[in-house]
Amino acid sequence: MTTRIAALALGAGLALAAGPASAGPFDSGPLADFMNIFKTQAIPRETVAYAGKEKPGTIVVSTRQRRLYYVLGNGAAIRYGVGVGRQGFSWSGVKTVTMKKEWPAWRPPAQMLARRPDLPRYMAGGQDNPLGARALYLGSSLYRIHGSNEPETMGAAVSSGCIRMTNKDVVDLYDRVRVGTKVVVHD
């Protein structure tokens, strides 16, 4: 019976990480505590087999898988769990890393302020900043690959189009990537 409950909780935890939270019969009590372990832990970074055609040093983001791959070459890549654009904010295409910033300041774009006038107009870089520990700016777009203090959003479609990573993972990627790196985003 314990194995069955663990399997159900694991399945529920993964489902909650992939979609919006909703109230249910297991929102409190021991099973809820068990399931919260899965909701709040980031997706582990790992080196995986990679059969794509991109050159080493390329970043590939699969919005459907909610994973980012840093291509190493020789059939391998580092795979990271990411948060991606929510419905209506997802995108695909090829961009280039045009700038890198450590502990970047945040200025919400006009489009975001129109939707959320309660947001601050400026936030200095630091622990509470929504861009997290590092940001990779993608061309002249408003999109970035950036850190987040919300590990529970990894594996979910939650952003306004940016690719979110845990702060630990974005620091790792930041140290590998150079300005000029190709970034391929697809479904």
**Residue 173 CB burial class (10 angstroms; 0-12, 13-18, ≥19):** buried
Out of 137, 146, 169, 183, which one is annotated catalytic?
A: 146
Is 168 one of the annotated active-site residues of the chain? no
- Could you identify the residue written with the tokens 């791959």? 69
Secondary structure (DSSP) of 137-154: EETTSS-EEEEES-GGGT
Distance CA 65, CA 18 (A): 10
140 counts as catalytic: no
Measured CA to CA in angstroms, residue 187 lies from 2, 19, 86, 91, 92 at distances of: 37, 17, 13, 8, 7
Q: Taking the alpha carbons of 34, 39, 42, 46 in that order, is the dihedral positive or negative? A: positive
> What order of strands is seen across the sheet that includes strand 59-62?
46-49, 76-81, 67-73, 59-62, 182-186, 93-102, 134-138, 144-148, 163-166
Strands 84-85, 76-81: pairing is: unpaired
Instruction: Say which of 135, 136, 162, 170 is annotated catalytic.
Output: 162
Give the residue numbers marked as catalytic: 146, 162
